[in-house]
Structure 1
Amino acid sequence: MMVVAALLSWFLVGLFIRASKARGWGQPIRVDGPAHQHKEGTPTAGGVPFVLALALVFFPLYLSGQFQGGQAGGQRELILMLGALGMGVIGGIDDLLKVRSRMVGGKKELLAREKFPLQILVALVFAYFAAPLASHELVPGFGRWGDMALITFVMVGAVNAFNFADGLDSLLAGLSIIVLLPLIALSPASALLVAVLLGFLWFNAHPARVFMGDMGSHAIGAIAAGAYILYADVWLLPLAAIIPVAAVLSVVIQVVSFKTRGKRVFKMSPIQHHFEHPDVGWPETHVTMRFWMITALATAAVWWLLGGRP
């Protein structure tokens, strides 16, 4: 079914690109950002069709009872997918506002004070059902409520970390595939996400014909966090997702430093844009490839720590 998912994603993303170009749903480029002005007008919100492909393949498989692991395995996969779709809808609202503002004006995106409560709500619901099904007790001595608090924090953190790791052609899609590789034999949702990302990468490879947008990054972050919680070890997720963690930390450090000291630590943030800044001078493709390599080494360490098991 991974082949079916990859081909369906490829087909839907291709259709989305044609529709986006016909309707002018292009991505605006910040003039104060990295030198990406040549990408102005590239279709955005490409996560919408690959998340749709993911759902279209996942739910028939789930309803037909083809997931291994009995009832518990099916429950894990269902709450994992519903959590991803819940986070994806939040990102999709952001994508819709961005496209709409470019076409007819109005609000440009969800504000942080609007987005975070929605993310926390989805994460809390996921945590309520995921805590009893986690691979082990996550916070020893604190019981289910301690596990729920940690799961909520990890889910919201992962969604935002993976979102901040976007911004270069194929960067997020490629590193997400690597992060999920240790889990594809355990979690059908993770395996199907890898497949649909391969279909998306066909068009997102440099020079990108479509950008992912927030729906895609939110869904990826949710599945990565949920799969490590349910099937592996939540404490290994920051190692595997070392680049998303570095991306979100670079933003936090940059904001805190500027507000408290009036100085910037990085040339730009998130950190991928620091390295492509003219003063550092890495080409975009070099940043992407090197970040993939770092992720591959970190994920290999995770695989070893898990005992090399699928």
Structure 2
Amino acid sequence: MNIVYAMLLSWFLVGLFISVAKRRGWGQTVRRDGPSAHVVKEGTPTAGGVPLLLAIVAVWGLGVIGGRLEFQEAELVVIASAVLMGVIGFIDDFLKVRARLTGRPTSTGLRAREKFAMQFIVGAAFGVAAANLSPLSWPGLGFWFDAPFYMLLMVGAVNAFNFTDGLDGLAGGVTAIVLLPLVAISPVAAITLGAIGGFLWFNLRPASVFMGDTGSHALGAAATALYVLYGYTWYLPLVAIVPIAEVLSVVIQVAYFRRTGGKRFFRMTPIHHHFELGGWQEGKVTGRFWMITMITTALAWALMSGAQ
């Protein structure tokens, strides 16, 4: 029932958030160099990840307090990682919204070095916890390899999921599919999946709300922590093939731009915009990226089942 509770609470909180955000003008600023079809999204409420994250924390916390859920240290680490990364995303969202309200819509929020510094602090804490809790370890390497590895994995994954959040329903749908193999073994995975369902009610095209960095950071952290702490670390690159492609497209674009003195490898990055500018409608890009994630997640699920 936790998945249902999370879906209903998320649906209610996100709907309430949209009403408040519209009255207060907490709208999204759209990139002027992006696809022209996105201009109509200007002013759509952003930071919808706040009520999404609140729903996850509330259902899990009340479940543990009420005795419906058994307290597990690994699940606490997942929640803590999602909340702390979500806070970083919220700071970024807050600065962008404030800039828009004060007449500086070109503000990009946190500087990259500021965001990375905070992400690495949270990632380091996660790395220490994961090195002690994850059932997966490398013989002969131990804590001093595991902790930095998990730190880098967390930071990289959070940014990959963040880049995926650029089309209506894309990041939420991809994350929901990625979590499916873990729903039967992790209450937090089930709760997160349910909360995403409530959020997607409003986020599917045409979106009434965007999750913002708050949501993408929190979901990226939750998905990564779940796969690591349940011993499925090596399946994460397979299920998260879309976020990986998104972040790699940005890396390739920047490197190629600098190497060639201003030429572009892709029409625009992250790569979902490349396909949009190539003539694919937004809904088609989202749907096909969901399908790719379904295939790779199904393959990972089969491999995970075979390994047990």
TM range (shorter): over 0.9
Give the 3-state SS of the residue equivalent to 2:26 in structure 1.
coil
- Give the Å deviation of 1:32: 0.8
How far apart, in 2, do the equivalents of 1:67 and 1:7 lie? 18
Q: Which residue of 1 aligns with 2:253?
A: 254
309 and 62 in structure 1: CA distance in 2 versus 1, 3 angstrom threshold: farther
- Name the residue aligned to 2:129: 129
How much has 1:124 moved relative to structure 2?
0.8
2:301 matched to which residue of 1? 303
2:109 maps to what in 1? Answer: 109
Measure how far apart 1:153 and its partner are: 0.8
TM-score, normalised on structure 2? 0.95
Deviations along 1:28-83, whole A, 9 cap, x unmatched? 11111112101111111111111011111111222345445xx6xx0000011001
Q: Is the 8 A contact 1:131 1:151 kept in 2?
A: yes
Aligned to 1:118: 118
Q: Distance in 2 between matches of 1:282 and 1:153?
A: 34
Tell me which residue corresponds to 1:39: 41
CA RMSD after TM alignment: 1.5
Deviation at 1:233, TM superposition (A): 1.7
- The residue aligned with 1:26 is 27
Q: Structure 1's 271 and 10: CA in aligned 2 closer, same or farther, altered over 3 A?
A: same
- How far apart in 2 are the matches of 1:93 and 1:18? 21
Whole-angstrom distance in 1 between the partners of 2:190 and 2:206: 26
Q: Distance in 2 between matches of 1:100 and 1:203?
A: 23
Q: 1:28 to 1:75 in 2, by over 3 A?
A: same
1:269 alignment counterpart = 269
Matches within 5 A, 1:94-243: 94-105=92-103, 108-137=108-137, 139-243=138-242
How many residues in Structure 1 have an aligned counterpart in Structure 2?
303
Deviations 1:213-232 (A, max 9, x none): 00100011101110110114
1:288 maps to 286
Query: Are 1:10 and 2:11 matched, yes or no?
Result: yes
User: 1:27 Cα deviation (Å)?
Assistant: 0.9
| Aligned position for 1:54 | 56
- Amino acid aligned to 1:179: V
1:206 partner SS: coil
Q: Equivalent residue of 1:168, what SS?
A: coil
Matches of 1:63 and 1:266 in 2, distance apart?
A: 50
Alignment partners' CA distance in 2, 1:96 and 1:120: 20
Contact 1:303 1:309 in 2 (8 A): no
3-state SS, counterpart of residue 306 of structure 1: helix
The answer to whether the Cα contact below 8 Å between 1:232 and 1:306 also exists between their aligned partners in 2 is: no
CA distance in 1, matches of 2:78, 2:66: 17
**Is 1:124–1:152's contact at 8 Å kept on the other side of the alignment?**
yes
Counterpart of 2:16, as a letter, is: L
Residue 168 of structure 2 aligns to a residue whose secondary structure is: coil
Q: TM-score, normalised by structure 1?
A: 0.94
Per-residue deviation, 1:308: 5.7
Q: For 1:135, what is the secondary structure of its paired residue? A: coil
Deviation (angstroms), 1:261: 1.3
Identity within the alignment, %:
55
- Measured in 2, the distance between the counterparts of 1:243 and 1:232 equals 21
**How many angstroms apart in 2 are the aligned matches of 1:63 and 1:125?**
25
Deviation at 1:141?
2.0
Whole-Å separation in 2 of the counterparts to 1:309 and 1:224: 20
SS of residue paired to 2:43: coil
